Amino acid sequence: MISTAVSPEDVERIQRRTVRVLALGQVLGGIAFGATVSLGALLAADLSGNDALSGLATAAVTLGAALAAIPLARFAGRFGRRRSLTAGNLLALIGVAIVITSAAVRSFPLLLVGVILIGMGNAGNLQSRFAATDLAADRHRGRDLSVVVWSTTIGGVAGPLLLTPGEVLGQAIGMPPLTGSYLFSLVAQTIALVLYLVALRPDPLLLALRIARGEQTATGLGAGEDSPLVARYAVFAVAGSHAVMASVMAMTPIHLSHMAHHTHGAHTTSADVTLLVGVTIALHVAGMYALSPVFGLLADRWGRIHVVLLGQAMLAASLGTAIVAGESAVGVIIALILLGLGWSAATVAGAALLTEASTVMQRPKRQGVSDSLMSLSAAAGAALAGVVLAEFGYGGLSAAALVIVVAIVALAPLAARRMRAAAASDPR
């Protein structure tokens, strides 16, 4: 047991251990999510027989995350991050089993149920980045958050790259088409569940709340002015950036599938499609997570809002590339890498900004709202993306997404002025 008085040195030691556990959990969680991102649209198109419905798979993932974000955040606020994260793992495990079953019985509605549950599990997984900030000092908040985000790179890249080996394994043991890689997801999620139950002790959020309630301000936790306006901008920037990323990324497997069939004609095989999709999505996921520590350090040194705007610049470059060169595989790959980088910068800096603008008592609630709105906006974007793709093509979809980027940039000066005013009034 930890004594009532917790020294800054104790907090730093516990924080280092917490970040290591969360990072390993993200490696495992990324495998399951990477497979769902890559296969969801393909399975939806296959089971529904309609490409226009393919976006519903990604929409279902994000809808599930939106439905679970606030309840899991409240659950974490009452019982801690450890129980909340393990609850997410359980939901994801059930979802994966249902997705495999849906492919076996050829049921599109059942597929959506399974994907929604996987999305609910991902809501728990998303909490890991906030869990990394519960005990973090102000000067290292962006760094600690980004290390956990970066760890998703390994699983997130491995998930899409396991599509073809998983398909071979699945066929060997008689699994339905396009579901073999979910075997790896089942194993990874089970290990992550055990890891959080055993190793995430003491619970970082419960300890942070105890410190704040005890007014142990020497640790640097819970101090500072609450800034609702800045917090709202952070929520908008994260949700908007995620909607841009999700809507374009959700339709990329379908766009690439059409390109593969155009190239190979009647000789196109599922291996041709999964190889092109797997490599592209793997590089996209690498862009999402591989440089997150760099963006975390930049957010600590340059300021959170500056890095949010850097993310918007990269998102704009991605969408411009998709408009100009979206009919070539190289163009799509470049666009998806830039899309991942822009998302990473905006998400890391935006999450750090939200945490910084909120007191410890306010954080779980606002973090849950942020994750819920992020997922809802992405669900709406992904659902509409299928229709937009069918009507206006890949370039038209990218042009529509630019509107959100412009809005995030336009509102940044308001948040920056409030940040400067808060800094000027802070006596520290």
Domain boundaries, the chain: 8-425
Residue 260 tokens read as 């593969």
Q: What is the rounded (10 degree) CA torsion for 195, 200, 206, 209? A: -120
pLDDT of residue 14: 94
Per-residue model confidence (pLDDT) at position 35: 67
What's the confidence (pLDDT) of residue 278? 76
Which is nearest to 351 in space by CA: 282, 295, 409, 416?
A: 295
CA 70 to CA 123: how far, in whole Å?
9
pLDDT of residue 269: 56
Sign of CA dihedral 278, 89, 96, 66: negative
pLDDT number for residue 397: 92
CATH of domain 8-425: 1.20.1250.20
Q: pLDDT tens, position by position, for the chain (428 residues)? A: 344 567 888 899 999 999 999 999 988 887 767 666 667 778 888 888 887 677 678 778 878 888 999 999 999 988 999 999 999 999 999 999 999 999 999 999 999 999 999 989 888 888 898 999 999 888 888 899 999 988 877 776 677 777 778 888 888 898 888 888 888 888 888 999 999 999 999 999 999 888 887 754 444 444 456 888 999 999 999 999 999 998 898 888 887 877 766 665 555 555 566 677 778 887 888 888 889 999 999 999 999 999 999 999 999 999 999 999 888 888 999 999 999 999 999 999 999 999 888 888 888 889 999 989 988 888 788 778 878 888 888 899 999 999 999 999 999 999 998 877 766 665 54
Q: What is the pLDDT of residue 213?
A: 78
